[in-house]
Amino acid sequence: MGRKILFITTDQMRFDAIGANGGKIARTPTIDALAKDGINYKRCHANNVICMPARSTMITGQYVSTHGVWTNGVALPADAPSVAQLLKDKKGYKTALIGKAHFEPFLDLKFQFYENQMASKGEFGPHRGFDHMELAAHGARGPLHYSRWLMANHPDVADNFYPVLNGNLVQNAYGEGDTGAVQVKHNKTPRGLYHTDWVAERTIAYLDSLDADEDWFVWMSFPDPHHPWDPPEEEIHRVNWRELDVPAGYPGSKKKIEEILSGKPRHWKDWWSGERVTCYEAPPEWVPATLTPDQLREIDALTHVKNELIDEAVARVMSRISERGWNDDTDVIFSTDHGEFQGDFGLLFKGPHHVTSLMHLPLIWRPAPSAKMTPASVEAPVGQVDLAPTFCRIAGIDPADWMEGKPLPHDARDPAGHEAVFTEWDSEHDGLTIGLRTLTRDNWIVTAYEKSSIYDGSEGELYDLTNDPLQWRNLWNEPSAAAMKRDLLDDLRARTPKEKKQLERVSPV
């Protein structure tokens, strides 16, 4: 019997969401305990800051320019490699993914992707190396297992969730909370029917189906704390938004926001003011400049409620693992796919913006106690591309040749070649294109803008995280930072992955 792997992900969670990373509001004792007993990576950065590209990197161990999922709505190719399949083939692991997969588009009008067909067919895989899948996204509507289960057993809750899309399949921008904040609703669905608890319960059910001596790789993937902000109404008393301060990254006055954004490439300010939308990850009708401090406080409070519910769900699964006698041989890795602005720069959601709000991720590895690894806090830069090779290390096999990352360092004194993280973005939206290539190294972030419909290729961003952790001052054109900029850009060019194949720039589904 070897080491088992529980891979836990959330969706759109900030680095500072949990207590172990300085969070002061949401109570996350279970996740904090994993960090205390394991390895907390303080400088994990996303290789892409939206869902499908990031998740495709997790399962393949490849950069976006290799696996080809360059934006949401572009499916991971059917022949893409899978670390789950590798663990299954090489070591006989039982494999499952419970919750949000999102390797294939949710918006699937032709119903062509198996992730969206599975539940209606009464099937649970196998798919992409997973023996078993039970899939969930947000809300009661849709083709996935959670929605089908909810509508079959509790149809009365159908209208409780915030409807993300309107009749024209465009994101809604209205709010139904206390402040009228975008995509907020008081959700009357009982907590036990909410998708966070459902994911935990279905994970426990799958674990209970396994024999005691089987090795397993289970990806438990929570759809929260991603917007819309509508946790069960019975739980929102946990955090009173009226008692919160605005987050540190919120500049305050519109004058201050405008001053900060004027120092960045122009699509930042254009989006904030409502002049131009460069990404469909936010409701196109919502103008960030309309965000009020009270609206931000309410969204912040509901996000913290979601994070507390996730922590409690993790606790139930960890308890079941202990009851099965598996804890001593189970590695637990906790992370997320990307971050959330949550008020930084006066913005919400995510998009073509490479700053720590979106790139800096929680990543915790609690090794199996039987492995006798020493707890540590690791400052070396690591990325999502390193997850698949780490799963291989845990299973006792060599990372596959097609993987482009390296196993995570487990000793703060031995970073094992982890000096920098590469992050890439390409988007096409409403006739506008943007391409970003970013390197995070030595507590600096440099982003080179590729030639696009908006930029001529000479623009960029440069931030000194030591002296400007909120990234309010862009040093790209500062003479005093010219030498550092040249050095970082040279390193960025050297570390930019070479495309293994010509990416098909199809329109997102």
Strands annotated E in 270-403 = 330-336, 360-361, 364-366, 376-378, 382-383
Cα dihedral: 474, 478, 481, 484 (round 10): 70
Instruction: Answer whether residue 501 shows pLDDT above 80.
Output: no
**How deeply is 92 buried, as exposed, middle or buried, from its count of CB atoms within 10 A (0-12, 13-18, 19+)?**
exposed
**pLDDT tens-digit series, residues 204-224:** 999 999 999 999 999 999 999
Position 505 pLDDT exceeds 70? no
pLDDT tens track for 302-327: 999 999 999 999 999 999 999 999 99
Question: Closest Cα to residue 96, out of 131, 47, 71?
Answer: 131
308 φ, ψ (degrees, to nearest 5) = -65, -40
HEC assignment per residue over 56-123: HHHHHCCCHHHHCCCCCCCCCCCCCCCHHHHHHHHHCCEEEEEECCCCCCCCCCCCCCHHHHCCCCCC
- Nearest Cα to Cα of residue 330 among 383, 295, 370: 370
Give pLDDT tens digits for 220-231.
999 999 999 999
User: Closest by alpha carbon to 492, among 458, 441, 442, 416?
Assistant: 441
Q: Determine the Cα angle at 225 with ends 333 and 291, to 5°.
A: 140
The lowest-confidence range among 101-110, 342-351, 455-464 is 101-110
Q: pTM score, two decimals? A: 0.97
d(CA 117, CA 119): 6
Mean pLDDT, residues 153-181 taken together: 93
User: Average per-residue pLDDT in the chain?
Assistant: 95
Q: Provide the pLDDT confidence category of residue 502 given band limits of 50, 70 and 90.
A: very low
Backbone angles phi, psi at 384, to 5 degrees: -65, -25
CB atoms within 10 A of CB 169: 9
Average pLDDT over residues 53-72: 97
**CB burial string 198-213: b at 16+ within 10 A, e below:** bbbbbbbebbeebeee
Q: Which residues pair with 111 in a beta bridge?
A: none
pLDDT tens digits, 396-431 = 999 999 999 999 998 877 666 799 999 999 999 888
Q: How far is CA 410 from CA 328, 376, 380, 458, in A?
A: 18, 7, 10, 39
Question: In this model, does residue 81 exceed pLDDT 60?
Answer: yes
Identify the structural domains of the chain with CATH numbers, from first to last: 4-495 (3.40.720.10)
Tens-digit pLDDT profile for residues 245-280: 999 999 999 999 999 999 999 999 999 999 999 888
Identify whether 126 is preceded by a cis peptide bond (ω within 30 of 0).
Answer: yes
The pLDDT tens digits of the residues spanning 82-94 come to 999 999 999 999 9
pLDDT tens figures, 10-21: 999 999 999 999
Q: Specify the pLDDT at position 499.
A: 67
Residues 235-253: tens digit of each pLDDT: 999 999 999 999 999 999 9
Distance CA 110, CA 274 (A): 33
What number is the average pLDDT over the span 271-291?
A: 93
Q: SS3 for 33?
A: helix
Tokens of 474: 């862009």
**Tokens at 438, concatenated:** 């970013």
- For tokens 């970003």, name the residue: 436
**Token duo for residue 78:** 């059917």
The answer to whether 318 touches 252, Cβ cutoff 8 Å, is no
Size of the chain in residues: 509
Rounded-to-integer distance, Cα 271 and Cα 258, Å = 11
Q: How far is CA 346 from CA 157, 182, 261, 438, 505, in A?
A: 33, 14, 9, 22, 32
Strand order, beta sheet including 44-45: 360-361, 44-45, 382-383
| Neighbouring C-beta atoms of residue 152, cutoff 10 Å | 8
pLDDT at position 411, please? 81
